[in-house]
Chain A
Amino acid sequence: MSGFLQRRGAAIVGYAETALVRRSGRTALSLAGEAVDALLQRTGVERSRIDGFATTLAMSEGGNPFWSNLLAEGLGLSVSWCQSTDIGGASSGGNIIRAAMAIEAGLCEMVLCLAADAVSTQDRSVQSGHRTEYGDPAGYAGPLSAFALLSSVYDQRHGLPHDALAKLAVTQRNGALLNDNACAELRRPLTVQDYLDSRVISDPLRLLDCVMRCDGASAVLVTSTRLAREMGFEKLVHPVSYAERVNFDPREDCADLLQSGFSEVGPRAFQAAGMRPADVQMLHWYDDFLIALILQLEQTGFCAPGEGGAFVMAHDMGIHGELPLNTGGGQISAGQPGLAGGGVNLVECIRQMFGEAGPRQVRRHANAMLSGIGVIQYARNWGTSSVMLLERSQ
Chain B
Amino acid sequence: MTDPLPPTDVAAPFWQGLAERRLMLQCDAASGRAQFYPRPQSLYSEAGVVWREASGRGSIVALTRSHVAPPRLASQVPYALALVRLEEGPRLLARVRAPFESLRLGQAVQITWDEGGGVAPAFPVFRPADEAGSPRS
Contact = CB atoms under 8 A, between A and B. Distances in A.
A149 B63 contact: yes
B4 A135 contact: no
B43 A152 contact: no
A111 B108 CA distance: 55
Contacts of A126: 2
A195 B84 CA distance: 30
Contacts of A246: none
A257 interface: yes
Category for how many chain A residues contact B: 35 or more
Contact of B93 (A134, A203, A250): A134
Category for how many chain B residues contact A: 35 or more
Contact of B70 (A141, A149, A151, A380): A141
Given A133-B11, A136-B4, A141 B66 contact: yes
Given A202-B64, A379-B93, A251 B70 contact: no
A142 B70 CA distance: 8
B105 A252 contact: no
A180 to B, nearest CB: 31
Contacts of B63: 149, 152, 203
Nearest to A126: B2
A144 to B, nearest CB: 6
Contact of A153 (B5, B11, B62, B69): B62
B121 to A, nearest CB: 10
Contacts of B93: 134-135, 138-140, 378-379
Please indicate which of the listed interface residues A135, A200, A204, A379 has the most CB atoms of chain B within 10 Å of its own CB: A379
Interface in A55-109: none
Given A126-B2, A140-B93, A152-B105, A133 B61 contact: no
Given A250-B43, A251-B44, A379-B91, A139 B66 contact: yes
B62 A152 contact: yes
Interface in B81-126: 81-83, 90-95, 100, 105, 123-124
A200 B67 contact: yes
A145 B63 CA distance: 9
Contacts of A132: 4-5
B98 to A, nearest CB: 14
Contact of A139 (B35, B37, B62, B79): B79
B4 A201 contact: no
Interface string B30-51: 0000011100000110000000
B7 interface: yes
A252 B62 contact: no
A257 B2 CA distance: 31
Interface of B: 2, 4-5, 7-8, 11, 35-37, 43-44, 61-70, 72-73, 76, 79, 81-83, 90-95, 100, 105, 123-124
